Structure 1
């Protein structure tokens, strides 16, 4: 709980002092309008819960009309959430289904090990997930936010928050003041609200950077993805829907040691394409980079708890994992599903949305499963991200063994799909 006192929580209007303009109170104030925070706002608004969402950046400039190479892998469970929030229907560009995944092990420039793991259409009744361009999701979120009468969008703006057992008061840099039952930190890994609440964070550096880009290729991908484990880190090719200028398109997510990643990302197109080909092989034919190249430092971290007085953490404010399994954003969406379900149920029962019982239920529902996912991705990175001959042999045998066990394959698939 932060220092300071406020009057008992009252619903509209909260009477502000001369420092700002009074606005009607809301049920939930979300700080951070990225995919996780914005989806939570939309999902709550569909249920009639009054929401304010604040972001330091203006939302329209996030809708870059140019293809920039970034995309999201949306698991089946995350799609259900986006549909329930009214976001999926607003996507301006088509999504691409992921219907097959090949998992292999090897070294750059060499043929992958013949011992591999294949997930196919026989392992699930629907696609494992969908690839959507980052700009498309941003457009859909912005439209959903602005179309919802129950959402007050405040961007660009910044918030200072005072929380007590009775409620929270939010003051924005633009001069607005209002009350909220609950404040949600969706600010990302460097969450100021989490730090102000003195919630400790444990960090696990990997000394790697992820390279993110897109490529065109000669042959169609047939909705097939590749996860290729290499000594320096995983390399993933993810199928994308065609665009007006590119009939065959895939996203690339590629981990390397920090110095190597910076050098790779700076290569001329032909040399960069050659390095991709050395890791991906030639099953898609010749590749050509398109759009921008992005690099991100890779690490894992987790908050020791997910709530404080009138405060809940979601997404990267609560946890961050290695992208080895492509579950980072989907883990945040699982937080949104759990928290929104609890808040909607509390709203329907007339309970206090920011009360400690609701917040404890949220932590109990999410944190154990999130910690298991963090541990699993950390173990995968350490197991596969090396060139130890003994470990290489053991993991190749393990991949092949899972490949021959349909029931176990389907169990892995169902968990990864978030169903």
Structure 2
């Protein structure tokens, strides 16, 4: 079997530079919260394929469901020959989603497809074209999705002009000195200077920003957006691609709020590692697009839908929402202990709903100045010592933890031990 270095060299020759990689590790096999590379080294997984593996690597129930479907057929294209797993999954998600009234669902393949199609649906329903998004947001890398993404480097730099009629509002983040009042004031400026509310089709927001640094949208912001959308006939879209499916100790992060969205975008942990995404929404809005206006050749693949149905079964049978809450408590308690220690690097702003936990690495204890270079070094030291870890944030100084919700407490503690060693001064 080739080594990590050999595969990295082959990758450099064969794979485009624009597809980045967080580590030089090549995976050979994985199980639940553990990964083994091609050289046989074992790692604790605190990345979860970027929030895709809430049910862990190769959960036997999910693998069995996918294998059973593969024995029947792997593809027909739902628009040509429909199949029950697509319909059954839509029924179950419609019943679960925190959306007012009757609901319907459409499936796609990637998170970017979900956010793009949410905008298409909102435009069809309203007859408008404008979109409001937020700074720090990540909605995908396709043309519309990257236009909505609130970060230039690396998602837009050198890739041509963004689509028009997309405006960004500052996302409230205490560390960046942006308040809810600031955000709403800026939104008011947009409505006065750039776009009348009557021309806005959708406001899209992540309940907890993913790439932006695991910052939660304050409840008062969600309430204000719901009022604005109701007053002006705007569709409120919750991008739950990363927060969905139990990560925040609720099936959907919007369940932490006392208002509901019109549409919810889902992907990542929806199908336990199989490619699948979707938009769930109010039926009257979802049905606005004409037949043929939505879909895709691979959209709602039957194997992925079968896997997703098994994911929902695993959540119920293994009480993963409760486990997410316990894991979050375990993570934050240990991080708070680390923050008080003088033998580790200064960390700040420990935060997170459920098991969607993050903290910042700063230059001095008690301060808030970001330290991106040290953060990069911590991630490298962690994987060298057997922990797969990811950073994020607009200042590149946030460490995020996305361990599988199925991970044993002992494995999480082992990962935290490696993290503590990586943070040692």
Of Structure 1 and Structure 2, the greater helix share is in 2
Compute the TM-score of the two structures, normalised by the length of structure 1: 0.26
Structure number, greater radius of gyration: 1
Of Structure 1 and Structure 2, the greater strand share is in 1
Compute the TM-score of the two structures, normalised by the length of structure 2: 0.26
